Amino acid sequence: MAGIPGTPRVLRAMNDRSALDLLVTHGPLTRTRLGELTGLSKPTASQLLGRLEAAGLVRGTGNVTGRPGPSARLYEIAPDIAHVAALAVDPEGITAVVADITGRVLGEHRVQAEAAAERVRNRTAGLVAEALDGALAAAGLGRGALHHTVIGTPGALDPRTGTLRYAPHLPGWHSPTLREDLAEATGTPVVIENDVNLAAVAEQHDGIAQDFDDFVLVWADCGVGAAVVLGGALRRGATGGAGEIGYMPLPGAPLTRDGGGCQTLISSPAVVGLARALGIDAATATEALDRAAATPGPGDEVLAELGRRLATGLAAVVAVVDPELVVLSGEVGRAGGERLRALVEAELSGLALPRPLLRLSTLEGSPILVGALRTALTAARDAVFDTT
């Protein structure tokens, strides 16, 4: 029966996928090098490349020069066989990027929510469509070129009801038909994922957590959240709310159903408030922490207090999850830098029995967009690279 594991058809499909993944990872390869990486013989590698080229999945891209003997032809993934979109949502607007199947970003566009509100009828779907169309225009593409769309948003989509939870600050994103509305607006399958979870995906595949199966990413920005990865898999929880530590009670934090707890102590606005209370005036958390680092006395107090707050929150997470690594990400972690990380590490050692590694994110750009793009590319490749 066709499709049974071990049949020639399935083995060919497995070899095809392995070759395609290698071409994505390494870029252009010769037939000989592809055979070495896959363990296939030269004739089998030649047949494989011929099959993939005939299917439009790979293409020749010149020859290797500068070596003795006949020049060898190079092969690469045909970049225009599929395109994907990744979007990051925040209270101020939406940023969209469009990339080809190799992951090369072709266009980017941002829409400010308030500036665009009067131009769209269905505000949520309209804003997504406007951001997406802007990125497509920058890439010189139309809607029909897209295969998958992934949207990162604060809060989480409840897998049982399809509604967005834990995000009261995003009006218009709580419709029970949200996924259907967005799929219609984009013309592609849409995945909506928690933004901090996507930042963890980015760290897992492209960042400092690449060699760790068990880690927690803590996001301290305008919002506060965490993503938990155990056994290499992202843990979302029964209602999609795993890691919503912004609501977690902490000593000294007010407790309200609208976002008290950890959020009120370590978010970007909380850092600005802490700095002002200690005599350092700033408009943003980055500015506040930069000034604190340059201001002996009051600045030392700001960093020490923030380190204690972060360590207290981390201690609760670490005691339950016991990860090998904790990654600090978001504006607060970036702005506080190595000095804040060291203060948190020192405080944490006295609060929690487990002693995970504590590292700052080193990703460039938006980790949320990086993770959304990685997720969209994985889905598109699974669909397009299936040669069975």
CATH number at residue 49: 1.10.10.10
What does the pLDDT read at residue 18? 94
**Considering the domain boundaries, does residue 240 fall inside one?**
yes
Do 233 and 135 share a domain, yes or no?
Answer: no
Do 110 and 232 share a domain, yes or no?
Answer: no
* Of residues 235 and 178, more confidently modeled: 235
Residues 6+ apart with CB under 8 A from 173: 89, 124, 153, 155, 164, 167
Do 355 and 372 share a domain, yes or no?
Answer: no
pLDDT over 90 at 363, yes or no: yes
Q: Count CA atoms closer than 13 A to 179's CA, side-chain side.
A: 15
d(CA 171, CA 169): 6
Range of the domain at 329: 208-362
What does the pLDDT read at residue 252? 81
Do 217 and 320 share a domain, yes or no?
Answer: yes
Do 119 and 232 share a domain, yes or no?
Answer: no
302 — pLDDT class (breaks 50, 70, 90): very high
Q: Within 10 Å of residue 174's Cβ, how many Cβ atoms?
A: 14
What does the pLDDT read at residue 258? 57
Do 48 and 143 share a domain, yes or no?
Answer: no
182 — pLDDT class (breaks 50, 70, 90): confident
The residue out of 77, 110, 131 marking a domain boundary is 77
What does the pLDDT read at residue 238? 86
**Considering the domain boundaries, does residue 18 fall inside one?**
yes
Backbone angles phi, psi at 33, to 5 degrees: -65, -40
Total tally of structural domains belonging to the chain? 3
d(CA 192, CA 109): 19
Do 230 and 301 share a domain, yes or no?
Answer: yes
Structure token digits, residue 117: 């509100």
200-241 per-position pLDDT tens digit = 999 999 999 999 999 999 999 999 999 999 999 999 888 888
Residues 6+ apart with CB under 8 A from 255: 249, 261
Coil, strand or helix at 108: strand
d(CA 186, CA 18): 31
Structure token digits, residue 161: 């009801």
> pTM for this structure?
0.89
pLDDT over 60 at 83, yes or no: yes
Q: In what order do the strands lie in the sheet with 58-63?
A: 29-30, 73-77, 58-63
Do 230 and 116 share a domain, yes or no?
Answer: no
What does the pLDDT read at residue 1? 43
**Considering the domain boundaries, does residue 373 fall inside one?**
yes
* Mean pLDDT for the stretch of residues 229-256: 87
Cα separations in angstroms, 225 against 5, 67, 242, 244, 297:
42, 53, 9, 5, 30
Do 334 and 377 share a domain, yes or no?
Answer: no
Residues 6+ apart with CB under 8 A from 11: none
